[in-house]
Structure 1
């Protein structure tokens, strides 16, 4: 099983954790023949598994991540009534968040509610460092489909935590419109900085 080093993630949820940081280092190597910046990046074990899942559709990496995540959540699993995954922001052959949430559901017998929907096509926030611009892009982006979280204890799940803007926006929807009893946040990895 992959080694982890859990890190607290802060936001407007009751409590939150990531299993580890995503990258441990990155050295700029220059520009490749296509004009793209190239880096030599090292990742934590969880970060490497997540990278393989996200960018190589490696389902073996997903199995390893589910085992680690389920083992971490298991001692507190009775505190959660439902897992709510953050909806994917783009199209991929394998959607990491959905794949991992379904695996954790199967391992821990906590139902998954894919109840957060987007009201318009989302903008990738990866390159947006201005907090005000992030808030503008997220304003009104998420809504609740149905009533699956009312008075329930939610484990909000994403694969990678950067600034928390997306998870904060979704927590507001779950607590406000959704009437959730509580929201706790959980991610596989977090970036080294919150930008």
Structure 2
């Protein structure tokens, strides 16, 4: 087993309860500009966040295993609180979709289904470049559609790799509850940013 150290913290939103397993970074120190004029940083990450960075930014599939095993180990003591995992739809295309790879790996260990019940109604960009909270909410308004046949009466664990402001997860929680008729929605992310920008 490749369990790594985590420091779970609560994340607040429309869900019944939510947890991020650790911070996304512990520090990020500017080190100067590169030859293209972009500021470079010396970034320190918790162990699980370093694995996530390798998975997302380096397409290192082997980095998924410690995340999956650590998350499944953490969730095993809360197993009665959910009966399926719903991954947040990826915001842009990658050859390797980290959220899907992780959700499927975690679900397999825990013996629960992954529901592909959320669709986007239009092309979507990443929210990380939008800092205004009202603009973020407007960006996701009406963005998600739900297949309530899959979600009606379910105890759902909404899953994402990174929690920043909660805008996306709150919008999805809304559609899972109404019109999705989920019995309960809880939230879990691998990491959270130090600020909500």
TM range (shorter): over 0.9
| Residue of structure 1 equivalent to 2:45 | 43
Does residue 11 of the first structure (1) align with residue 10 of the second (2)? no
The more displaced of 121-130 and 149-158 is 121-130
**Runs of 5+ in structure 2 lacking a partner?**
none
Partners of 1:98 and 1:90 in 2: CA distance: 13
Work out whether residues 11 and 18 of structure 2, in 8 Å CA contact, stay in contact via their aligned partners in 1: yes
| Residue of structure 2 equivalent to 1:177 | 179
Determine helix, strand or coil for the equivalent of 2:74.
helix
| Residue of structure 2 equivalent to 1:112 | 114
| Residue of structure 2 equivalent to 1:29 | 31
Work out whether residues 82 and 149 of structure 1, in 8 Å CA contact, stay in contact via their aligned partners in 2: no
Question: What does the per-residue CA deviation read over 1:74-129, in whole Å, with 9 as the maximum and x for residues that have no partner?
Answer: 01112211100000001111100000000011100011001111111112111211
| Residue of structure 2 equivalent to 1:187 | 189
Does residue 54 of the first structure (1) align with residue 70 of the second (2)? no
The more displaced of 123-132 and 65-74 is 123-132
Determine helix, strand or coil for the equivalent of 2:107.
helix
How many residue pairs were aligned?
195
Q: TM-score, normalised by structure 2?
A: 0.97
Q: TM-score, normalised by structure 1?
A: 0.98
Partners of 1:74 and 1:130 in 2: CA distance: 37
Task: Give the CA deviation at 1:146.
Answer: 5.0
Match of 2:81 among 56, 79, 82: 79
Determine helix, strand or coil for the equivalent of 1:156.
strand
Aligned CA RMSD, in angstroms, stands at 0.9
Task: Give the CA deviation at 1:151.
Answer: 0.7
**Runs of 5+ in structure 1 lacking a partner?**
none
